[in-house]
Structure 1
Amino acid sequence: MPEPGDTPGLEDIARRWAARLTEIDGVSVSAETLRPSLLALAREAQAEAWTAHDAAVRRFSDLYAASPVGVVLGDADGTIRDVNPAFVELVHHTRSDLVGHPLTRLAATAADAKILASVVEEALLPARRPRQERITVTHGRDGTLRARVTVATITADGPGLPHPVLMIEDVHELDLLSEQLRRQNVQDPLTGLPNSYHFENKLDTALATAQGGRVALVYFDIDGFKVINDGLGPGAGDEVLRQVARKLGSHFTGQCGHEAVVARLSGDGFAVLLHGRSDSGLDTATVVDLVEDSMRELAEPVYVDGKGVGVNVSVGIVVTEAAGRTSEELHRAAEITLHRAKENGKAQWMLFEQDLHDRDRRRFGIGAAIGGGLENGQFAVDYEPTVTLDDHERVAVVNAQLRWDHPDHGVLRSRDFSDLADTTGMTPALGELLLALSMTDAAAWHHEFGDAPDLCVRLPARLANDPNLVRFVRTELDRTGLPPNTLRICTDSVTLIEPRGEVLENLSILAELGVKITLAVSGAADLELIHRHRLPVGFVIVSGTLVDALAEDDESMQSAHRHFEMLMIRARELKIARVGVEGVRSFEHARRLAALGVVAGRGPLFGEETGAASIRSMLAKSAGTMRALRP
């Protein structure tokens, strides 16, 4: 008879089932007759069970041996019972090196061994889910290996606690990739400095934690970096950026004595953040001294392939109390201050000043809105009359200028936004609008009155050099029907000196179309451009200090008088048809200019700009009683 607790044998099972079946009503077969059949059935079931068990064992063994993940089987006492081939390959230890040793021996450090022991102990508790940790394990060749360890349990062969099983994966490369991605998220890959994202976080933190403290935000921008990039190649440009980053980092983080963050924001732009307590000495004078020292250091040539490259920077500086400030305000202040430094000649620093900041912010806001103003029809044309000096009632030419009826700032003249249009790239669009509107008005006046004044349009340099200028003017002449010889296109000496562009060709072709070419000059020297480039210039307009001096009653007037006489002589030599001036202040001023041979002028004496309707009214009143003369 089997002992209590033993698994009953197949004979006992067959005997008990045979006895139980004979007790069922209607069964007439004896227990001895049933027992052989039941024993055969039990043996068949046992064979099937063992077959399934063997298959399961084989599947587990195959999976255990073929798994690419390292597997360590442990005993209930915490020792290593077996390891699969993947683990042997992973840690470069032999199976004999590992089996029989404590599981904690896998860990490379005491701290990792403590973590591993805790995870194994917790996994063995009832109803615990698998645990996962990252630890450093020993490696037979490399010393250590960063690994992810998943700890689970499997049922023991007999009664007792389950056995731990460890699945171990190499995450060294994954950690390296993760670290690389983290660095890319906060670090500029070219220079190794923090990037704009990281810098923004540092600035926000400084503003949030610097209670009663001060912050300084300094923007650096390399002057003429495009020349370096285009002249020596992008590789040289990259090397210059790395050298600038190294010098700025060394200067501000290693020497200034204040907590500093140096970052590359974008392109050739860098930023420095300094912050500290109000009593830490972080004042304006200290920051300016640091900036000047850094500018001198940056100016020392950087040698790239044996070529010494000088680096000059423009700098915008903001020093302020941290309380109540936002990062957006500081960035905007530093950006605008930097722009002011560049506009004032580059290679210098500018300090944030609230009044200048407000002015520049208003100005830049105007420039940014030019595109919207064009789309919404906010631009119109005003005309300034040029009057013959021998008879102040006769208008010779009307000079077209754009007017912007700004919804916030009221009426803006071209001088208020023309420079900003150049900066934002809106000059061609504004110039074409000026030509289209003014030529439409002038054509209407000539159609209605016959002998209307010429239209003069002064082109900004960007439009005078535009390869599409001739096509556009020809198109507008055809559309409006304006006679070409009533249109004067004016440019200045600065535009002619520009080595790039197509201004000379544009002026020559327009002259062939019958358009009159006018040159705006400031002195006799500018007239030499006409001779040098053989320009088809028929009219000259003089403006500036030479004209202004002729309005005075001092020695400067005498000198200007002599200079103007020389200008008139040279103009006659060049066969200039007429000379006019801009800036006539008074009747006496006009008389002096007329005595020198100037035929027409415009300025405060003859009124400010006026709209097209006023010009038409003036022409209507003078029709039949006077004619508009052309100089």
Structure 2
Amino acid sequence: MDRMDERLLRQDEPVRVLIVDDSDDDAFLVRAELGRRGVRIDYRRVDCELDMAAALASDSWDVILADHDMPGFDSLAALEVLKRSGQDVPFIIHSGQISDRQAVSAMYEGVDDFIAKGDYERLVPVIERELRGVSARRAVRTADNRIRELVNFDGLSALPNHHLFCSKVTDWLGDCRQRARAPVGAVFVVDVDRFMRINASFGYEVGSAILRQVGERLAQGLAPEVTLARLGGDKFGVFLPGVGDPAQIEVTARWILTAFEQPFLKDKVELFLTASIGIAMVPRDGDSVYTLLMNAETAVAQTKRKGGKGLRFFDRAMNTASVERLALEADLRHALVRNELRLFYQPLVRATDGAVVGAEALVRWQHPQQGLLTPDRFIPLADETGLITEVGSQVLFEACRQGKAWQDAGHAAFRVSVNVSAVQFGQPRLLETVSEALNASGFPPACLTLEITESSLMSDVESAAGMLRALKNMGVQVAVDDFGTGYSSLSYLKRLPIDVIKIDKSFVRDVSHDEEDAAIVRAIIVLARSLHLATVAEGVETREQEVMLRDERCDSFQGFRYGRPVPPESFPFLLQGVAD
């Protein structure tokens, strides 16, 4: 409950009401009648567009009461003044000069309610309701802004983090394409050499202090148009836009190296550090931030192999894995024909009693020469080559078949979750595939959850909403996977027909002892509850994590604490505590 609710219910402070009316007597009567009913107000009366705009600009208001028919000014004109101000203030028509049809039409335009003049018994609860409504909206916006801050900025250095760095570079590349301008620039990965010595010798607290100093020193010396971020650990990212000359790029890189020449101080102890820098150029070395970062990482690894304390531009000859990738692509095509894909299942447990209520299906590849391959080895390749559609289809059919088998074995309420890639989600064929898998297996649609990453949903919200509605009409549940890592705007969540939010394991990992991660998780759970969505915490490994998440009323858990992904023949022992 925020300050406005408290003011209305306890009357510690008067409710501030902007009255749009051409009668002083009517305005005074409103104050008197509300006061008789226990609602104390401060008000200001205006009766023209100019005065109302000035009142909105100079003061804050809890509610607006507007007469409908005034000389040269009416309630709809007043509503337009409010809209232009951009403020979120409940707008109530309080008039005896408006028909029911006009009142209904006005509410379609954005009026919150209509109260006949003199009906003060109804006016009081309507004001109370609207104040609560605006309070809830402001609470969501506050949570939205707080999570945006926590997700986009590194808590240790206060610099942009990996996510915001990628967003800024991606936006810049997109802007260049929109303007039909050839993008030129460079992405640096700056890796502090042998930084683990600091942590091992002086402890992590000293290490964190030194990293803050590194960030501050680099930020002070780089030009304003340069983006500096802490990518994680002892790695920093630098984006230099608009510079295509390698010699100029090298000047900036060498300045960064010289920035490490002066010692860093901690408790009067001088600590000397060096750095290795890998550089990827735009567009020569990539046209997406992820490709550029990957190639800069490859270059910095080469620098460190040579002893560090230097810089290196990416060279495509470094990427010796390209031939292996081509061979792996050919093998993957054969794997689909030979049914070499295997599904492993990780249990999903209910927070209240630890009962296994479902499983997430996770694909593996039983490669004939390389053995069992995890998804990170072949799913990105499947995405790039278009094979992901067939991979996803096989996974979905097998997961539904296995889920039905477990249900037939006596676990009637058992659920199965299946990941859907961004490429799959963008194809209408997905609906047909889901329908065929359900029909072929006899698995109940209500027991199938499709997990879709937040970034996939936010890339095109309108298209995503249409696809999600179609899936919901089929009866399946939808979960937002890796929530928080692809953050765009929480305001979109209420527009998307989803059922579950899966809190990314990167926030869960340190939730029991990192207050920033705890704040993110707490805010996500509260927000999900307010939107009537279930929450699943991924990556739960310790009792401390479990206790904290249960105390915050997270609904379900998933992670190594409850079981690693296992093949279906090894899963039944986990079903001993299954909830039917």
State TM-score, norm by structure 2: 0.46
State TM-score, norm by structure 1: 0.43
User: Which structure has the higher relative contact order (CA within 8 Å, separation 6+)?
Assistant: 2
